[in-house]
Structure 1
Amino acid sequence: MRKAIGNLLSLGMLRRPASVLVLILIDAGSLCAGLFLASDSLHLAPVLLSVLIPIFSCCGMYGRAARRRSPGALGGAPLLWGVLVVAGARFYPESGLSGEAAAAVVILFALFCIPLRLSYERGLDMIYRRGIGLIPTLIVGDENGRERLRRLLDFAPGAYTPVGEAGLTPQGRVDIDELRRALEESGAKLVLLAGAERLPDDNLLDTLRSVRLRGVQMRVVPGALGLMRLRPLVSQSMGVPVFDVRYPQLDNFQRTLKRTLDLTLSATGLIVLLPLFALIALAIKLDSPGPVLFRQERVGADEKIFTCYMFRSMYEGAEEQQEELEEANEADGILFKIRDDPRVTRVGRFLRRWSIDELPQLWNVLKGEMSLVGPRPLPLRDHGRTREAHKKRLAVMPGMTGYWQINGRESLSFEEMVRLDLHYIENWSLSFDIKIIILTIGAVLRRKGAY
């Protein structure tokens, strides 16, 4: 039995579908149990499940372990689904499920689903602790440190498997660019860092930020000097002292609330605004030829490139014309802005005036590539002109709106925008986010700085 489980877990193509199937069965069973105990509407299970699975999928509840074990996902996904179920029962009484019964179903579902999911995760942990299955691991450090870790991992087969390495620069610093490439190419879920006590503080924090923003766990394997100074946490599966490392001030309870707020508002917004999206799509199609959505590569947290979605507000092929218009640029050189841009369509001018063109970015928020509030994500052209000091603003997820939005918006210079972004990062709180969202609504209604 042990060998069969190990073989199954070692096959990445089967491990993920098998895990998703088990989780769906847990969710479906919990839903049926809730419907059976709270009402006589068991026939609604397929309908409610067809709503639950996409929401849970968008919230990462069928994703990698690090995402689906997140308190924000465990609490936010059932909450979001529950709000939609109760609202549906209120608006559609002909379904036969009253609002009170729907609330009871949601509560019972959570009481069954969350403990069962946690038990499943604990069972997986027990399997991995016994050396069954493989955890793809990236080894980071100097040549001697990496060699030492390779030897150690040879003595722990079935627990961790090396899938790549990243070295140090001649100056004894982690090569961040090499680390990012290795993380992207290897699909590592764990980083083992050798000799962290010898790294400069700023380089260690940059390393940790790059790892954290990709949802990857990092553990530090100290040298002898580090062991004498610190009390180690011994990993039972590796048999070597390691330290769990967390990014300071970025893994607190309010961060979980921020992600829950992002998930809830973005999903609700996409559903509520669907009729408006249909009208906008029709207007764009009637106004000018080309796609409804404009997709542009932008730079997000830790310089990770993602596809940003917007309603198309320019004529098709406008990006190719930008180089010809550089001399007419009214911004400070890093950014590109023209008040009366000839590439903007009639409908596009209206969309920009009311910031409607940015609403599809709610999908980026739902996917976890952006947040509702954060620094502005720059296009590749703008990012390529920034200096190293400007990149401190990439320590958090980019946002649909931000502190810059309510303090001048398009009239700001890039340096002023960076200053406001850094102020936001250093003084972040959930109440600050809510305040910015409320003030953004006012700025949009006043059409302040939009063109």
Structure 2
Amino acid sequence: MQSDREPPRTRRRLHSKPTWYLPTAPAVDAAGAAGGTYTAFRLAGEAHAVWYAVVVAAAWVLVRASRSRYAWRNMGGSGNAHSTPRDWLILVGLLTVLKAATGEDSPFPLVLAGLVGCLPVTAAWQEMTLRHLLARRRAGRSISRALVIGEAVAVDGLLNHLARRTDHEFVAVGVCPIGDDNPNPVAPVTGRLDKQTPPRPSDDSATVLAAARRLQVDLVLVVPGPGMDGERLRRLSWAVHGDGRPLVVVPGLTEVAQRRVSVSSVAGLTMLHVVPPVRRGAALLLKNVTDRIGAALLLMLLAPVFAAVAIAVRLDSPGTILHVQIRAGQGGRHFSLAKFRTMVANAEQMRPELAGTNEQDGLMFKIRHDPRITRVGRVLRRYSLDELPQLFNVLQGHMSLVGPRPPLPDEVAKYNEVELRRLSVKPGLTGLWQVSGRSDLSWDETVALDLRYVDNWSPSVDFGILRRTLRAVVEGNGAY
């Protein structure tokens, strides 16, 4: 008969991340930094290009390591991608100080040209490991088996939330509800705790540890509530930690980025501090400047594409080249948005006839095989070329390069208080909606993605979305 006290180290390796993540990450970072620096200095005719490459590679790995980017818990996670631009700025500052201290006289623009190579290589590696880890988790690998403890209603909420997503490591294999109520049968009930705090800590720990050992769980998830106060949780943690398992407390916050949360201890109480979303300051100024400059550069670079698309639209079907609509921007303010026309000229008049064929479950109107779309229009939508004129809206300040989808005024008129929060920031040319499936997403998923962006925006988040936009455009998923 198998002992209940089987130690954690005998659990299946199925639950751990691939071991090659850890040594490969600094090696890739070093190679990207060294390769870019060597190329830049070699092309400039510098005699010591190899030494420059070695110094930059070592500095980049040092910066990343000091910021815990190689910590095992961060391997394959999405948080590293958002932090890469900040790490790069630290690298620039570090090398600037080193350059001044040593009296090294290479031109600073040349140094910057070499450092640029760090970003795409590191970003590509992070994207690859993230997608690899997500694929493993969807296949039931690289997961953490969890025992969930809490009152039935709270446990239901947690399990339902986890079940809707596949981008996390937790799989609930058992539940220990507090009280007599039974949670929904997503995971089996493997024990039950009294509603009231027991007089002896062992009354809780015996039930929890027996279930944890029998199921060979990797950790214990606790949802606090009236039946699980701070003192009871503290005593339970003694037993769980003594058995060699981590204990994770779920505070109930949703869609709050880790960087917005800090922990402090006040009078023996552990407190979570949640900072407000970024709405002003240098970061927002940087976003506005980047938007204007980026839009201006893209308009110049894509001028031939604009001309080719305009000719194709004109030759394909009668009507105007541009389709202009009124959209709602930040704060609900209206502005005129232009797109290359992808539908027949009388598309708006035909919409009432097609109302019954809407394939969206919310306020947006979308039909996968919309009969109003022209032949050229399907190609433009497939590769998002119809959106290019919105660069003029970005240049005028009505929109941003990254942000939520700009809604129609009649959609906004039906928004509830939660959905209105989407208008707290400027709408964007691209955003989480565009890189996460676009029209294939439900209305609730669309709102959730937009609110995640509104609440957790940062320059690094924008950088990550812009990086993913190219792949989303090429693949064309959900574009119709």
Rg larger in structure = 2
Q: TM above 0.5, one fold?
A: no
Higher helix share: 1
TM-score (norm 2): 0.42
TM-score (norm 1): 0.45
